[in-house]
Structures are given as C-alpha cells and as structure tokens.
Amino acid sequence: MPGQCKDDSTCKKKAPGYACVSVQTTRERVRDVKQCLPNVNTGDTCTGTTPGLCPSFATWPTTYKSISAVCAYILPDAKCAEDGDAKKRGTVNCLELPDDSGDTISVIFGCVDSLVREKRLLFEKKSTSDKLAKLLDYPTIISKMCVNPNASDILCSGQGTCGPKNQGSLNFTCLCNVGYAGKFCQRIDSNRCTNEGQCAAGTCNLSKQECECEEGTTGNQCAFCDPSSPKACNGKGSCNLSATRMPRRLSVVSGSMPVSSTLQKSNTSEKSTTNSKGIDPQSNTNAGSAMMRSQNGNTPEGFYGTDQQGGTCMCSRGWNGAQCDRSPVQNSTTTPSQESTSGARGLQATHALISTLIALALFN
C-alpha cells in the first residue's frame, strides 16, 4: 500500500526527513495503519507537542479508505518530563492544558481514528474517564469543524487532518495535505505531494514532492485520463473531454458515493462548479507536460472541477473506477434494467411453452 511503513527506518530509505506515523484505531481487519510523513521535527506532522498532519488513505484498499485521522490531544503512556529539567529516559515532553477547575492536564498529540471512543483517546463529553473528557467533546468538535455537511462520510474530504489550529487551541479545523486547499480540503491546489498515498492515479515522488502519473492518466494529483494515450482508462473505456452532469460511482478519494460532475473543453478559464456532494473545486492554469507532469487544474474522484486538457473515463459495461480499473463483479442482486430484461425473457419463454402445449393438444 502506498507509503505504508513499519518503522522510521523504512521511511528514511524513501526520503530524508520522513518518519513513520501511526493512526490508533480499533477497527477490525486493519493493521499496520502507519504511513511515511515528512518533517516530523519541523511542525508539519502530528506528534509530541506539535499539531499537524496525520496519514490519509485515499488510495489505500477500501477497508482503510474510511479511516479519518484526528490530530488529537491524548494522555501519554509515559511520564511527562518536568519543566526546566533535561528530558530523562522514559519520559516525554508534554503540553499543559488548563481545565475548568484551574488545574492543568498533561497531554501530547497523537493521530487517532475519528471513530475511536475509548479511554485515553477520543472521549464523549459525558465520559467520566478523566479531566480530559470533560474538557474536550471530540464528537461535537469534529462534526462542527471538519465535516462537510454535503459529504459527511469522511473528514476533510480524505485529503487532510482534523486538528487544532495551533498548539494549545481547542478550535479544530481541516489541515490540508500539500496540494489541496479549501475549508474541507476539497479543492486541488497544485501537483505537489508529500504523501505517497495522495496522488489519485499515480505515485508521489517524495524526493521531488510531486505526483507522477501512470501512463494513461494526467493532471494535478493525477486526477484525469489522458485522451492522447492508448492506455487511457485502462483500455476498458473511453476518455472524454466533455461531459454534462452524468452520475459517477466514485472510490479513490472519498469512497464509493454517487456524485455528478461537469467538465467542459475550453481554451479559456472557466467557472468551477459545485457538485451534489458539496465539492467546490477551483481549476488553475499551471501548464505541464503530458502524463508525467501537471497540466491544468485536474480533479480526482470526489474532487470536481473544469479542465482544459484532461478528461474523465466513461467505462465499458461492467467496469468502474476513476480509470476503469475495477474488475467486473458478479452481483447477486439485479438492477431495474436487468430485472426488466429478465422479466421480458421470462415472458417470452412462457409464451413459447403455451404455444407448444397448444400444438401438442391439437395433434392429439
């Protein structure tokens, strides 16, 4: 899985300054929820006494996609180092948060799955676990600050972290991955990347911090298909430059959810649109070379906008996904059209049987 790691040594081999950051979760069938993130010592990553980004799993398997990380104040397992003293072995540097009674609570930052509701992690307001639970009502904070009301299935559109605005703050917001912007990180801002799991249909080159797209895909964050490539849409569909609000079943960024998009071919700048899930994209005009570099303001699944060069895949029957890369699946249920076809065939068979019986009766 893109960017997955076991420990810091795994990440240091990928690029200087990267560290292995884990997300605490209690979900079943997931393990090693760890990812290489940059600049762990310079303030960009949620760890220790510094708020920042946590791993995001937009391009990981479905089981992981719905994990939304919160950069949370948590109670440390180790003892906090005393103020003014050199850090002793087995201790950690902590923050002190004032509580309602005038005392302080010693905490550190940690990445926690938003669904966790256990002791020492994300508390309910009425929990009696300890003082931190009385100070922070995480479910309310998260729902008010980090959930797009029109796309509530994942925090910060799957391309950011819900965390405090600054050290010691109780006001949370969406902290966006590099390359994304907007209140809910719903808008592509550039082709830059620092997370191997963020480029929709490509890979983040950690040394260059830039998305590099697989042949057949193109655009900022490798968002769209390349109509000039014979490998567009995985050979299982057509790459269209123009479409008019047709439903799309999505998976790469914000999970499988029906939304609609508007793409128009143009040589001039265009107004961005807001889709049915509240995505408010913004196109840009940073030109680049085909396939391996940024072109113009492209948008991956779950993030929509107008585009001048990239296109969207129209998949052949039985295939889906942003690049028509999902294999056909035999479903036990049928669609209304399938039911109609099946019903028509059944009726024809019934008529044939009746005709045969009548013919036999006449001959007898």
Q: What tens-digit pLDDT sequence spans the chain (364 residues)?
A: 888 999 999 998 888 888 899 998 888 888 889 999 987 665 689 988 889 999 988 888 878 888 889 999 888 888 888 765 556 677 888 888 887 777 788 888 999 998 776 554 554 444 445 677 667 777 788 888 999 877 788 899 888 999 998 888 888 999 999 999 999 998 988 999 998 888 888 889 988 999 999 999 999 999 889 999 999 998 999 999 854 333 333 333 333 223 333 333 322 223 333 333 333 333 333 322 222 222 333 334 443 333 444 888 999 988 887 788 776 653 333 333 343 344 444 444 444 444 444 444 444 4
The SS3 of residue 250 is coil
Domain locations in the chain as residue ranges? 8-176, 202-315
Q: Are 284 and 180 in contact, with CB atoms under 8 Å apart?
A: no
DSSP notation for 103-168: -EEEEEEEEEETT--STTSS--TT--S-HHHHH--HHHHHHHHS-BTTBTTSGGGGSEEEEESSTT
pTM (global) more than 0.95: no
Query: Which two structure tokens, joined as six digits, stand for 291?
Result: 């396939």
- Strand-strand pairing, 79-80 and 91-92: parallel
Q: Which amino acid is at 133?
A: A
Of 191, 178, 192, 179, the C-alpha closest to 220 is: 191
CA distances from 316 to 99, 147, 222, 329 (A): 59, 34, 21, 13
- According to DSSP, residue 259 is labeled E
Give the closest residue to 314 by CA, choosing from 213, 223, 233, 250: 233
